[in-house]
Homo-oligomer: A and B are copies of this chain.
Amino acid sequence: MMIKGEGQASKARGRPRLFDRTAALDRAMRVFWDRGYEGATFDELIAVMGLSPSSFYNAFGSKEALYREAVGAYLTGPGGFFPKALAGGGPAKDAFARLMMATAAAYTEEVGPAGCMISLAGLHDAPDRADFRDFMREVRGRSRTLMIERLDEGVRNGDLPEGADVAQIAEFFETVFRGLAVRARDGADRETLEKIGVMALDAWPGVRA
């Protein structure tokens, strides 16, 4: 079954759309990233996307569906630094050092809003938005999973002791990561975030010089 909006151009039936769906989604994602779900109004979203209400609903279904797609666009776009920083070789601690530096850079990148679209969403809203909160919690959990996997790799490679509490280390770095998103929102600059990251690495298990 073809998924709407993903059909191949050569087989598309009906009137072809007059806008670039991917570009429109990217623009919407940046508004959500900046203002959150509730803070992004429908009128502002369709304005930056250059769409009429009809075209919007035809292509995206609802504001909530758009948000979920925008999360995907964030993860594969601006949020891509996270898996990328962890994925490189070397000892696990080096990977986490890269992650801290990449986070400091990404959270203060001038081309996008400060901080992280994922870290700050679905934390503080009405009880009838439980599905949304659950979704964001699940997405946040993915980064913890990535960290745990990288730490397990470190244990296998011998750069972490056999009995290392990888879940605990991941919990700690996720906490720092979420905290950095808050600090970036409040205006902390890249250098400040980098120093915080360096200090967090001092908590790495093992003897410090």
Contact = CB atoms under 8 A, between A and B. Distances in A.
A30 to B, nearest CB: 13
Interface string A138-174: 0011000000000000000000000000001101101
B178 A182 contact: yes
A200 interface: yes
Contacts of A137: 186-187
Contact of A179 (B141, B178, B185): B178
Interface in A160-209: 168-169, 171-172, 174-183, 185-188, 192, 195-196, 199-203, 207-209
Interface string A62-88: 000000000000000000000000000
Contact of A186 (B35, B40, B140): B140
A94 interface: no
A71 to B, nearest CB: 14
* Residue in A40, A168, A186 whose Cβ sees the most chain B Cβ within 10 Å: A186
Interface in A9-51: 34-36, 38-41
A121 interface: yes
The range of chain A's interface size is: 35 or more
Nearest to A36: B124
Given A38-B38, A124-B121, A196 B171 contact: yes
B187 A126 contact: no
A59 interface: no
B179 A123 contact: no
A120 interface: yes
Contacts of A38: 38-39, 125
Interface of A: 34-36, 38-41, 115, 119-121, 123-127, 129, 137, 140-141, 168-169, 171-172, 174-183, 185-188, 192, 195-196, 199-203, 207-209
